[in-house]
Structure formats: C-alpha cells, structure tokens
C-alpha cells in the first residue's frame, strides 16, 4: 500500500470520526438539556453528520487497519502513519476530556456547596454543566479507550522490538500529556496556596467555602484533573524507562523534558526569590513596598517543588546510568544549567552595583529611586550568588580532578556552550554599551547632547561595559586553560601498552594520512602501519586494528579491537542505507572511535546534522538571538 494512500485513509478517518463524535455529543446534549430541546434544526444537522460521517469512517477505517503490519527490519518497526494517527486521535479526545472533567468537578463543587443557582464561569448553571460534561466524558472516554486498545494490540509498543520512530512518537505523546498535567497541577496549587495565604495573613480569617466557590472550586478541579493526568502519563513514562529498554533510557526527549523543567523551576525560584528579597530590603531602607509577598511565596513553593522533584529524578537517572561516564554527563548538564541561571542573575546585580556607585560619584543623592535600585541589585546578588557558587564549585572540582572523568569535563560540549555563551553575551554587551558611550560623547563634543538623563545613561552603559569586559576576560582565560589541559591530556593518553595497527597498503593515500594524523593526535600511542598478515599474529585484546571492509577476513581471528572502514570494491557494489564518506571524514571517525576506546566509553558514531536540520537550527538561533538575547542586552545596558 502506497504511503500517500495510507495518509489519505488516516486523514479521512480522523476528520470523519471527530465529526461523528462531536455530533453525537451535541445531539445528546440537546436532547438532555431543556434549553436546547426545541432547537430541532440543530438536532437534524447532528443526525445528518452521524448518518453520513459514520459509514465514511467505517469504510476507510477498515482499509486503514490493514496498514497495521509489523515490518521488522534491524529491530525496528515500520508502520507508516499509523502510530502518529493513533496518538493524535488520543490527544484529540484527551484534550476535551480534560476540559469537560474540570467543568464537571466545578459544577459538582457548586452543587455540593449549595451554589447551584449561581452561573458557572462558562455561563451555564451547575445542573446543565454536569449534563453537558458527563455526555462529553462518556463519548470521548469510550473512543479514547478504544484507541488505547488499538495501540496495545496493533502496534504492541511494550515489546522490545518496537523501537525507532514509533517509540519517539510515544514518548512525545506521554511527555506532552505529562507537561500538561504538571502545569495544571502546579498553577492550581499556587492559586490555592495564594488564596489560603490571603485569608490567613491579609484578611486574617477564612471565609466560608460557598462564598469563595468560584475561586476554590475552579482551582481544586484543575488540581485534581492535572494531578491524575500527570500521574498517569508520567507513571507510564517512568515504567517504560525502568523496563530496561535501551532507547527509553537514552532518550533525548526524556532528557530534554527533565532539563527543561529543572531550568524553568530553578529560574522561577531564583528570580522570584530576588523579588522577595528586594521587597524586604526596600522596607529595611525605608521605602514603601507595594508588592504582595504571598504571591511570590506561593510561586517559590510551587516551582520549588517542580525543581526539587525533577532534580531528584535526574539524580536517580544518574545513579542508574550504565557507566560512570553517562552518570557524569547527566550531572554535568544539570550543574551548568544552574550555573548559567545563577551567573546571569549575578551579572545583573553586579552591573546595578557599579551603576549605583557611578551615580553617587556623579553627585546623585541616595534618594528613593537610588535606594530602590540598591534593594533590587542587592536582592539579585543574594539570590543568584549562592546558586552560581555552589554549582560552579562542583563543576570546577570535577574539572580539576585527576581522573578520566576530568578529561571528559574539560572536553565536554556543554562546557564549551556555557563558555561561548557568556563570551557572546559579554561581547554584545560591550558592543551595545560602547555604541551608547561613544555616541553620547560625540553629541557632547558637537554640542547637541541632552543633559537631562546623560549622567544616568553613561553610568548605566559604563557599568555594564566594565562587567562585560571582566566576564569576557575570565571566560577567555577558562577557554585558554581548557586548550592547554586538552593538549596535555592528549599527550598523556595511552592504551595500557596496546598498539594501533593500520592494516592498509603503504601506497594508499588513506593509510598515509591516517598514520600521520594519529601520530600527531596520539603521540603516546604506538601507531604501526603494515599490510603483512604475519604482523597480526601477536595482537592482544589491548590492541586496535584499523582496516578496510575488504580485509575483514584477514583480521577476523585476531583478539584485538577492530575498526572497519567501509569501502566499495567496484561500481557493481552499493551500500544500502549508508552514505559515502570522504577520506577526511573517515579519518575523523577513526579518531573519534579511538578516543572512545581510550576513555573506556562505548563506541558510537558521531552524529552529523543534515542540511535541512542545520538550516532550521540556524533560523531558530537567529530568531532567539533577535527575540530574546539582544533585547535583554539592550535592556540591561539602558539602550
């Protein structure tokens, strides 16, 4: 069956079934709701949709189900658009189920508390909302359970053979539901806690629940629905992770989910803590604090739970990692995330401190505005400095340790991203501040400068220029130190007495270039270039042989590790599913594999981005740059 035909069948099934489902819901609501019983035109339209749409769905669904065929190739399962269709349909049903479940619980809360005569936020009475939501829940739940059964029976995602794109779609589905449920839970928890603090510390009494049913009922309903949704989806994701499936344990989607929640939670806690500290310091400095600390405290507790829980999950994932290198990688990314947040907040605070000092040098009095700025920058330092110092100390301890893990710390991609990120921010800050300073000086020289806010503008720009230069120098020194240590590590690298044997003809261009490159990059390893079979007789398990695929039989019986470079002997041969590589790419692959052998890590090919993916990443990077980074730099420099 062609791919286009399968997409057509699933598209028709999706549209027709959704139309029939909602026609049935509207029809039942109209029959059961007294206010809609007289609307016969609406009823006739829904009946017509069911009469026409149901046969269309059944006919196409019967043929679409024929595509649920397992075509196992190298442990993967190719079922075309079937898994995407199933999960999109379940999402299409679960979304309205969530909304109607919340409406049902709110209406139930109104009824229990004796407020059934009041209108709900959606403009209906409690009895009408219960009828409408129950009808939708029944119809949508039956359909969702049916497709859940189809998922288990037809695709069999719990089997070890079902991996690849199918498992990726499943993970995306589960984590999307999980983040939705967690968001509902946390924001409802924050809202309830905020209301409780308001009653306890502001009103100093708890009002009757029937008087606050509009607030409490909605938040409780969202909390219960979100908690159930999060628990079901996250619980299944955790069960799959602990099932032993390698793809689940090495999933990039799972890591992105956990790190994103840790980042959001820690960022919210740090920035909100800075706001609370700023309010406390403002009162201490004799200023009026108009902020409501209860809102900030509720947010700190809510997002603190998100941060703490997912940091704990990352800690358990690191403990259960198959080897220490994977454990170190998980902890490394977590520490650099915290270091980035803490250092960014510290930089804002330091810039504000220097700004205040320069303003006072220019003779500005410590008035209310300047005291408010002192409170803000001091709060930023107090909130960000502990986070940065603790995480950066752990990073530097791992960096300076005398073991193999320290070598990985010094060469890790996340460290390079961290250093170059702050180098970029520092450079852009100097650029923006420098333009502001020079332009104002030129205006003064030409006699056209406005003196109204000149001192403040110059003070702001100079302050952040000084901070940016210090940051640039510090991170440039870190980069230089990394380069020196990496050179020393490469000189010290060894294979416990093992050798690297390049089993290729001497006249071959590949062999000569590979020999010279490996001798340059690994001076402590003995590199031997030979094409004599007798030189392979004394190889041990500590040795490594690099050869072409044509000569596999010659090295097959040796005890050494074998790195095979694929070659096509003639134009009559073709590798299926493998792109051709240049000599330089093969040499880079050999160096990567050799480094992995030396470090004791598992040999994995380096992942190369396709042209489309690389172009998409560049576009996303440019959008982020001009949407977030540059406006932030212009804000902090006062431009």
597: pLDDT strictly greater than 90: no
Instruction: Specify whether the CB–CB gap between 36 and 30 falls below 8 A.
Output: yes
| Maximum average pLDDT range among 317-321, 365-369, 380-384, 486-490 | 380-384
Rounded CA-CA distance 234/634 in Å is 40
What pLDDT score does 223 carry? 93
CA angle 119, 227, 338 (to 5 degrees): 120
* E runs forming strands in 423-521: 499-503
Looking at the predicted structure, is the pLDDT value of residue 394 above 80?
yes
Residue 104 burial (CB < 10 Å; 0-12/13-18/19+)? buried
- Nearest to 19, CA basis, from 43, 54, 62: 54
**What band does 413 get if pLDDT is binned at 50, 70 and 90?**
confident
**249 Cα distance to chain centroid:** 16
Average pLDDT over residues 98-116: 83
- Three-state secondary structure string covering 135-204: HHHHHHHHHHHHHHHHHHHHHCCCCCCCCCHHHHHHHHHHHHHHHHHHHHHHHHHHHHHHHHHHHHHHCC
- The DSSP symbol for 211 reads G
Residue-wise pLDDT tens digits, 39-58: 566 778 888 999 999 999 99
For the ranges 458-472, 497-511, 606-620, the lowest mean pLDDT is seen at 606-620
Task: Give the DSSP per-residue string, 562-624.
Answer: EEEE---SSTT---SS-----HHHHHHHHHHHHHHHHHTPPP-PPP---HHHHHHHHHHHHHH
CA 188 to chain centre: 23
Q: Tell me: the pLDDT tens digits for 250-296?
A: 777 888 889 989 999 998 999 888 888 887 787 777 766 655 677 78
pLDDT at 578 over 70: no
Q: Where are the domains of the chain?
A: 3-240, 313-493, 499-569+579-599
Highest-pLDDT range among 108-112, 228-232, 634-638: 228-232
**Environment class of 166 (CB within 10 Å of its CB; exposed 0-12, middle 13-18, buried 19+):** buried
| Phi, psi (rounded to 5 degrees) for 544 | -130, 135
Spatial distance between the Cα atoms of 21 and 25, rounded to a whole number of angstroms: 6
């Amino acid at each position: 069956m062609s791919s286009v035909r399968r997409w057509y069948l699933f598209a028709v099934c999706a549209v027709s079934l959704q139309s029939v489902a909602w026609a049935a819901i509207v029809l039942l609501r109209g029959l059961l709701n007294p206010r809609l019983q007289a609307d016969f035109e609406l009823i006739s339209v829904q009946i017509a949709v069911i009469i026409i749409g149901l046969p269309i769905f059944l006919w196409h669904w019967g043929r679409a189900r024929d595509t649920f065929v397992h075509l196992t190739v190298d442990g993967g399962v190719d079922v075309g658009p079937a898994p995407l269709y199933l999960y999109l349909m379940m999402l299409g049903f679960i979304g309205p189920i969530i909304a109607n479940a919340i409406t049902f619980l709110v209406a139930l809360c109104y009824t229990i508390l004796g407020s059934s005569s009041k209108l709900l936020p959606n403009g209906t009475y409690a009895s009408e909302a219960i009828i409408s939501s129950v009808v939708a829940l029944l119809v949508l739940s039956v359909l969702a359970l049916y497709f859940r059964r189809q998922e288990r029976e037809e695709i069999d995602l719990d089997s070890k053979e079902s991996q690849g794109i199918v498992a990726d779609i499943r993970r995306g589905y589960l984590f999307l539901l999980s983040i939705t449920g967690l968001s509902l839970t946390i924001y409802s928890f924050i809202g309830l806690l905020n209301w409780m603090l308001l009653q306890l510390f502001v009103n100093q009494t708890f009002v009757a629940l029937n008087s606050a049913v509009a607030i409490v009922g909605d938040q409780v309903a969202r909390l219960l629905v979100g908690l159930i949704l999060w628990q079901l989806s996250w619980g299944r994701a955790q069960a799959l992770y602990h099932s032993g499936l390698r793809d689940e344990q090495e999933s990039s989607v799972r890591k992105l989910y956990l790190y994103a929640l840790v980042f959001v939670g820690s960022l919210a806690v740090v920035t909100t803590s800075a706001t609370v500290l700023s309010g406390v310091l403002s009162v201490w400095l004799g200023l009026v604090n108009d902020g409501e600390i209860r809102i900030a405290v509720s947010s700190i507790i809510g997002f603190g739970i998100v941060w703490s829980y997912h940091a704990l999950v990352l800690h358990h994932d690191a403990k259960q990692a198959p080897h220490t290198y994977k454990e170190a990688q998980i902890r490394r990314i977590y520490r650099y995330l915290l270091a980035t947040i803490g250092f960014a907040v510290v930089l804002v605070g330091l810039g504000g401190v220097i700004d205040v000092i320069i303003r006072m040098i220019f003779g500005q009095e410590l008035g209310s505005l300047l005291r408010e700025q002192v409170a803000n920058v001091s709060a930023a330092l107090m909130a960000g400095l502990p986070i940065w110092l603790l995480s950066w100390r752990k990073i530097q301890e791992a960096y300076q340790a005398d073991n193999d893990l320290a070598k990985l710390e010094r060469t890790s991609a996340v460290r390079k991203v961290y250093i170059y990120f702050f180098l970029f921010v520092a450079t852009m800050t100097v650029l923006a501040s420098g333009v502001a300073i020079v332009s104002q000086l030129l205006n003064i020289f030409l006699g056209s400068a406005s003196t109204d806010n000149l001192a403040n503008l110059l003070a702001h720009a100079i302050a952040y220029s000084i901070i940016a230069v210090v940051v640039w120098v510090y991170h440039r020194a870190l980069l230089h130190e990394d380069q020196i240590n990496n050179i020393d590590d490469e000189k010290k690298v060894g294979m416990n007495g093992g050798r690297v044997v390049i089993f290729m003809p001497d006249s071959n261009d590949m062999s000569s270039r590979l020999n010279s490159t490996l001798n340059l990059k690994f001076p402590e390893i003995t590199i031997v270039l030979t094409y004599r079979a007798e030189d392979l007789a004394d190889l041990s398990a500590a040795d490594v042989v690099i050869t072409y695929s044509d000569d596999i039989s010659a090295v097959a019986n040796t005890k050494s590790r074998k790195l095979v470079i694929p070659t096509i002997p003639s134009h009559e041969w073709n590798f299926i599913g493998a792109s051709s590589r240049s000599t330089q790419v093969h040499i880079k692959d050999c160096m990567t594999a050799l480094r992995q052998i030396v470090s004791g890590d598992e040999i994995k090919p380096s992942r190369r981005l396709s042209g489309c993916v690389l172009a998409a990443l560049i576009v996303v990077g440019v959008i982020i740059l001009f949407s977030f980074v540059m406006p932030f730099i212009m804000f902090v420099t006062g431009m």
